[in-house]
Structures are given as C-alpha cells and as structure tokens.
Chain A
Amino acid sequence: MTTTYTVLSEGLEKRFGDVRALRGLDLAVAEGTVCGVLGPNGAGKTTAVRLLTTLLRPDAGSARIAGHDLVREAAAVRRRIGVTGQDTSIDGDLTGRQNLRLFARLHRVRGAAARAAELLDRFGLTEAADRPASGYSGGMRRRLDLAASLVRRPEVLFLDEPTTGLDPASRTPVWDAVRELTGEGTTVLLTTQYLEEADRLADDIALVDRGRVAHTGTPAGLKSLVGTHVEVVVADADALVTAAGVLDRLTGAEPSFDRERNAVGAVTGDPTLTLPRLVRTLDAAGVPLLDASLRPPTLDDVFLRLVGGPGTPSDHPAEDEERAA
C-alpha cells in the first residue's frame, strides 16, 4: 500500500533580510494523521505554517497540499485548508456568530447560519455567541478561531501553537477538538513548543531546528530515545559520591553533578525504574536523601540529546518567532 501524503514539502526556503528563517524544510504528513512540528521559538515553525497556508511565498523549494501545488494552485489550496494560528485571528468587532457566518459565507457553505450555530454549540460558545469577540477570554477566542477554521470541513488543518498563552484548563477543550477532528479523517499539522502537547496529539513528530527538520519520529520513540531524567538531592556533599554510585548502577548512565544544591542526576531509558525502587535502593545504601524525582523529558532535553544544543532560546516565548528573530 502506498502512503498518500497530504502535506509534502521539499526544500522550502524563506529569508527575511539577513535572517534565513527556513533553510530547506522537508515535511511529509500522511493523510489522516497528526504531525507535530516541534521546536523552540525562532526555529521557523511559524514561517513554515505561513508558507504552507499561502500567506507567504517560498524563496525556493516546493510543496503540495492535498494534491495541489502551493504556489501555482494557491486558490485550490485555500479551498482545502483551515488555519488557526498565532497570526490569524477572528474579527473582534464582530460577535462570535457574525464571525462564523462571515467565514462560512466566504467558504460558500450552504446554510451559513445553521453551520455557525452548530459550531458555536460544539465549542461551547452558544452563550457568548452574540457578544463582540473582543470581550472573549483567551480560551474562548482560541476556540472561536478553531471553529472559524472548520466552517467548511478542511482536508488539512494547520494549527500554529494552538495553546500557547492559554492556561492549562483552557488547553483541554482545544486538544479534545483536535482529537475529534482527526477521528473524522482530517489531516493536521500542528506546531508547538510543548513536548507534552505533541505527545498527546501527534502521530509523528518533526523536530525543527534553525529552519530545518532535524529529526522525525513518533512521540514514544522520541521520548524513549531521550529517556527519563532522574535527580536526587542529598543532605551533605560526602553522600553525593555514594548517591552517584547508586544512580550509575541503576541507570548505567554517566551521572551529572550540581554541587551547589548537593544534587546528582542521570538519564535512563529503563521503564522499570520507578520512584519507590529508586528511593529504596538509595536508602539501603545509607544515602541521607532529601529529595528524589523522575521527570519525563522536556523539549530542552530532546534538543540537548538530538541536536546537541538547546535550540534557539528566546526570552519572549509568546512573541511571534519571526519578529523575535
């Protein structure tokens, strides 16, 4: 069986002045799957989405979206995509309902009013439907934005950091909506800075660093590749050596020390290492233990392991990466 790729880009390049935002981006998203494009600020995620949604023209390279050439058949691409991004927004001067009706009309959806009502209901916005969207909370705006990109069921949905800036409670409804959509066969390309988000939603992950895909794999594969971070804090400096010996035996990895905090850490891919086992072993060795933790890998760990650096750091996580660059 041959795989159909709904999003297929080859060597996409984009330069803004001196900044090379994309340096040959190759992406392949199979039909009906969710691809998580993961990377820190400034990696080129937003630029990639802006190119793939026809908002920007690539300087070089090509892409096909739902079977249509991104540049030559831009109008056909626009008919098949939905976009919810940091850069795209609903109209705050209109009510939620007016927004959805407008977008439905522009998408030539028959029964625009009924479709708007249906989406408002689905995203829990019926009560706020007739208030101007400028008064919505961040979570409501994002939900309305998501609804706006679904007025005509898109073949490909692009989500550019859909939960950045949202509190954890507001993330869940957005995640639920994305899962529901993929259940209906929509292909999703999602950018995120959060490994957790990619882990929950994506079938495949493309790790982007400095305008290129640095690594691809499944979330589980990526996590097991990086492993779990183990850290213990002990009461005095003398115990550090003993603790390090125990960690070495348990994980088989080279321990790293933080002498100021009397802490020692290591990374393990062993799923049988649980917190009780760790604590019991350390206690049996007579280590005066103050704190112990097992932490799943973060995006920083992934980058440290796979790219050999922290990626491109940023002081302004919420800021548009192009502007930050």
Chain B
Amino acid sequence: MAKKKGVQKSEVRSQKSEVNFLPCSPASPASPSPHLPISPSPPPLSLLPTITVWAIALLVTATFAWIVGDIIWHGAGTISWEFLTTAPKNSGREGGIAPILVATGLILGVCLAVSLPLGIGTAILLAEFTPTDSWFGRLVRRSLDVLAGVPSIVFGLFGNVFFARTLGLGFSILSGGLTLACMVLPILIRSAEEGLRAVPNDYRLAAASLGLSRTTTLWQLLLPAAVPGLLVGLVLGIGRAMAETAALIFTSGYVDRMPQSLFDSGRALSIHIFDLSMNVSGGDTNAYGSALVLVVLLLLINGTAAQIADRWLHKF
C-alpha cells in the first residue's frame, strides 16, 4: 500500500518538473518556465534592482579575485619543486610541505573511501526505496540537514572523543579521515539524493515495462544518469574536507613527520597554514605558499570534476 502511494507521488512530482527538466543535467539551473506569467513591459523602476543585482555579483567576484590575487601575490615566490618535496624545518619557517601534502591526501582518501559508499547507499535508499513523505525519509532528511549545519569544531570534539578515545585510534590520519567523513556525509547524501531524484520517472517506468529488475535499473540507468549530481556533492564535500582545520586539530593532529601508516598522526595543509600564521613568528611567507598550494589543489579538483561531468554527459 505504502509502495503504491510512493509511486503515485513521484509521478506527480515528475509531471511538475517536466517543463524545466533537461535530461541528464540535474545540476543545471531551471530555465524560465513558459507557463509563468511574464509582465509585458518592465516598469522603469526595475533599473534599480538590475543595478543592485549586478553590483552584488561584481562585489562577490571582486572579493574572490582579491583573496586569490593576494594569495598568489604573496605565495607565488615560495612555490618551487623543493617546497613541494621537502619536509618543514624550523617549525615550518623553512623547508617544504611534503609530509603535510601526503597527510592531507591520506586524510582525504580515508574520508572519501568511507563517505562515498555510505553516502551513495543512503542516497539510493532515500531516493529510490523510501516514499518522499514517509516518516523515515523525513526524519533522515531532517537530521542530515541539521548535521550539515553543525559547526566543524563540534565534529572535531566528537571525533576526538569517539574515534580517538573510545575506539582507541588516537591522534591519527584514520581518526581525522573518519571525522571528516561524518562531516561530509550530509552534503554528499543530500546532493546524491537530489541527483537521483532529478532522473525522470519515465526512465524507471520504461525500465519496469521492459521487465528489468530494480537492481539493473539502478546500476545501468539511474546511477549513470545521476553522476553529474553525485559529482556536485563530491566537489562540495572535498572542498569542505580540504579546508577543514578545527575538526582535524583534535583528530589527525599536529605532527609534521612523514606519515608511515594510517595510524600515524599527520598534519593537514589547513592546520599547517593556521599554525604558521598564528603560532610561528616569521612563518607568514610559507603560510602564503601553503595557502596557494591548497587553493590550486581545490581548483584542480573542481576543474577535473567539471570535466568528468561534461564528458559523461556527452557519452551518455
């Protein structure tokens, strides 16, 4: 009974969104619907909002450009092959960031290895097997939204108590990665769920009418179609994880030695930047250099994800 109701609901939903839906591009903004009433000629006063909107857009862009420009200006001189491949010396004032890059990569790796399967699994459960307005779906979704807004320091303290102490992982890359996984999960699940929901219901009905099993439909049809949505979540998640300082200082720790295993403590890039600019006098140059590396890494990840999404769309 409940199942039937769910199908009916999703039919209604798909009809509603039919108008502005572009196949396979759930992330694209909705194009103006032809059904919306458009006033014949805009009143002259509309100039003011136009200017305001443009000014705000310019302001946002300018702020971004200023920050990136400042980091490049101060940090570009520091970057060299040596900076990327040597260990920090004299509390990071001299030397490079090699162990810190490795630790950051490992933390991110643990985070994604745990959060991706869990996140996509939960998203599939929420989008495909749970009716939109069931109490279970609503409860999970509400808790995820609350979790997404929890300050990272809270995750850090939780990670310190649960992973580092209760599970006995101590200050380690594993503790840090698992804490980040908890932090990233809400974002990942919600965007993956949206990605799946944006796949037109016709696909599901067509697959059912062809007699495909739900598993085949999921693997062969729904997941590939939802990949761009998943990537959006992934990029947002990686962004949040890479920029994290507060949650990591209590979990993955401060040690700037080259990590030997996942049980070693390792300093993440963002913590290195924080430490150099706040606790180490004379560390500003290398702090800027590290910040530049972090920004470039994030841009690279974003760019790659965008490219993959693009390719995928053409292939599909």
Say whether A and B bind each other. no
